Structure 1
Amino acid sequence: MDRSATPATNRSATPPYRRIVAEIRRRIDTGELTAGDRVPSTRRITREWGVAMATATKVLTTLRQEGLVRAVPGVGTVVAETGTGAEARTHHGPAPRPRGSSHHPLPAASQPQPPALSRDRIVRAGVRIADAEGLRSLSMRRVAAEFGASSMALYRHVANKDQLVMLMADATFAEIELPAPAPRHWRARMEAGARLQWQLYQRHPWVAQWLSITRPQPLPHAMTLIEWTMGATRFDPLTKLRLALTLLNHVRGTAVAMEEDLEAEQQTGMDQDQWMVSQEPEYEQILESGSFPMYAGIDAMDDAGTLQLDALFEFGLARLLDGFEVFSDGREGRPAH
């Protein structure tokens, strides 16, 4: 038998971006690329491996997530100082062959088969892609490629991309474990519910961007979270819903910037701090005009975290709940409408 058949089969079954990530990882591990060296840019990756720009972007994003590389303004993406060793990454390559195992390919009947398609597996694959590449990169063809199947095979389990994304979003809400026992005071309960939402959006930034307040989607697990969040309030159902949507919109509206920031980082190669540093000269020139006393009165060093999303979330949540408390005190004893 031809012993080269098995490796070729493995290569064809591995997504292109993972093969490229594995090659760049190999260059780092072997010392071909050392700390501070530039790694191939997205443009070079597209030329060297013949892949699309989206795939090249995914390669650099994955390497950054594994801690192997970092973006340097004005330079590009370089090998990180700690970007070596197995502890800095999650290996996606084929598992090593156990000692003593046969070097011959398995008979055809025993060859590993692609996992059988099911709605649950398709949804989980969609979530993985959206988490890593953003919702704009998601397509039925992209998900099918994860299984080595055709797009048409997916339609036996989901009607279309819109239904797939809705199932994906509801599946992320199903991950939430509601605290037991639940907080008894309404403010503590609403704060806990808001934080559960915030943590979900941190894990899956695309969900906040997809959700709609004006055209709500039927998501049973999301509805369960909202019902639990409002469970300690004593208002009539309509007032509860309005308060819940106001709270949800603060969390979701702040979290939308997570996905936007990830996309901007992929496009510019700069994280938020690096981007702000690059904009400082322009801002200083504007502030020197004297037309913006509010901005000029802020010490950039003391308030460096003002624009961090976690800080905006915390400040807005506290002020919103303060307002709800005033509203609640004013409504006590009044009949429900």
Structure 2
Amino acid sequence: MSQDSGDSDEPPYRRVAAALRARVDDLAPGDRLPSVRAIVSDFGVASATASRALALLREEGLVESVPRVGTVVASRTPSRRRVRPRGTGPYRADVVALAVEIADADGLAGVSMRRLAAELGVPTMSAHGLVRGKDELVMAMLEEVFDAEPWPSVAVDAGWRARLEVSAHRQWAVYSRHPWAARAISLHRPQPVPALLAIAEWDLTALESVVADAERRFDLYMVLVGYVRGMAMTLAAERDAEADTGVDADWWIDHDPATARGMSRLAGPAIRRAGPYAYDLDRVFRTGLTALLDGMV
């Protein structure tokens, strides 16, 4: 049904938020709200409108996002607004750390200067004074999460392959903790982020010992970071799906009736011979990385 066809001048996301706000009154802390997909279907609005309505309720402290669960009614406790001594303001590091926390829970779409200011208890312009816009904020967030991940120890005389394995697994560890980061990074329009440039320096230095041509060396570096990021995009999509549906990929494949019927009808003989498949993205990542490095030089 569509509830977005009224004549009110109020923005659609606010009308959706008002309807959801009324539902919250009848729910207990921890109860799930409809997913973005369900809101789109119920209210006949765009997914961006649904996401913005939920974001407004989060800003008001009525709901919160729980990884792998979705949006739930918040506990009846004070919000997580940062409390500072009277007369002091937030530092840039406070803004970046809070943005990372929000993105970990709600994705990059949940991060806005308005929301950051509200949770820090300052005017929006004060937040803008510390971080000049979303682009600069995202680069600071990337620096924060990649710089925080330690480089594993590796022998000085370790070969190129061992060094590239260390680099790839380190990036995967960051993406596993912060799936939004894969979507924030651009390979074709690289961001001047010191922690990302350090990865490029590490990988290219490792390749110098086995690849003489500079262009091919950079191509191989792009292939490697592109593979890790691509797998991380799959990870991020699965995390989103888990939050939206409340179930993981294995449950979905085993129990979703439509999927079961489709696979039974459409799967070919090679797929059937493969037998039951345990979906483990970490294993797939390791398998793919080994195959990629085997054929690199």
Per the TM superposition, whether the score is higher than 0.5 is yes
For 1:106-117, list aligned pairs within 5 A. 112-113=85-86, 116-117=89-90
SS in structure 2 opposite 1:216? coil
Tell me, yes or no, if structure 1 residue 257 matches structure 2 residue 234: yes
- Residue number in structure 1 paired with 2:285: 313
Tell me, yes or no, if structure 1 residue 138 matches structure 2 residue 114: no
Q: Which residue of the other structure, out of 148, 159, 168, is the alignment partner of 2:132? A: 159
TM-score of the superposed pair, with normalisation by structure 1:
0.63
- Residue number in structure 1 paired with 2:180: 206
Q: Give distance in 1, aligned partners of 2:32 and 2:206.
A: 53
Mark the CA change 1:123 to 1:280 in structure 2 (over 3 Å): closer, same or farther. Answer: same
Tell me if structure 2 keeps the 8 A contact 1:140–1:161: yes
TM-score of the superposed pair, with normalisation by structure 2:
0.70
- Residue number in structure 2 paired with 1:218: 192
SS in structure 2 opposite 1:270? coil
Q: Give distance in 2, aligned partners of 1:114 and 1:131.
A: 30
For 1:230-269, list aligned pairs within 5 A. 230-233=204-207, 234=209, 235-236=211-212, 237-269=214-246
Tell me if structure 1 keeps the 8 A contact 2:254–2:260: no
Instruction: Kindly name which structure, 1 or 2, has the bigger radius of gyration based on alpha carbons.
Output: 1
Range 129-138 or range 224-233, more displaced: 224-233
Q: Give distance in 2, aligned partners of 1:212 and 1:58.
A: 34
Tell me, yes or no, if structure 1 residue 42 matches structure 2 residue 42: no
Q: How many residues align?
A: 243
Mark the CA change 1:297 to 1:226 in structure 2 (over 3 Å): closer, same or farther. Answer: same
For 1:41-120, list aligned pairs within 5 A. 41-42=32-33, 52-54=53-55, 55=57, 59=63, 61-62=65-66, 112-113=85-86, 116-120=89-93
SS in structure 2 opposite 1:178? coil
- Residue number in structure 2 paired with 1:169: 142
SS in structure 2 opposite 1:214? coil
Tell me if structure 1 keeps the 8 A contact 2:250–2:278: no
Mark the CA change 1:232 to 1:152 in structure 2 (over 3 Å): closer, same or farther. Answer: same
- Residue number in structure 1 paired with 2:271: 295
Mark the CA change 1:154 to 1:282 in structure 2 (over 3 Å): closer, same or farther. Answer: closer
Mark the CA change 1:266 to 1:114 in structure 2 (over 3 Å): closer, same or farther. Answer: farther
Q: Give distance in 2, aligned partners of 1:58 and 1:255.
A: 31
Q: CA deviation at 1:281?
A: 5.5
By relative contact order (CA 8 Å, sep 6+), the higher-ranking structure is 2
Tell me if structure 2 keeps the 8 A contact 1:192–1:229: no
Mark the CA change 1:297 to 1:257 in structure 2 (over 3 Å): closer, same or farther. Answer: same
After TM superposition, the runs of 4+ consecutive aligned structure 1 residues lying more than 6 A away are 91-94
Q: Give distance in 2, aligned partners of 1:311 and 1:24.
A: 39
Residues 219-270 of structure 1, C-alpha deviation per residue, up to 9 Å, x if partnerless?
1111112212332332344332211110001110001122222222222222
Query: What is the CA RMSD across the aligned residues, in angstroms?
Result: 3.4
Mark the CA change 1:163 to 1:182 in structure 2 (over 3 Å): closer, same or farther. Answer: farther
- Residue number in structure 2 paired with 1:271: 248
Mark the CA change 1:229 to 1:114 in structure 2 (over 3 Å): closer, same or farther. Answer: farther
- Residue number in structure 1 paired with 2:203: 229
Tell me if structure 1 keeps the 8 A contact 2:154–2:163: no
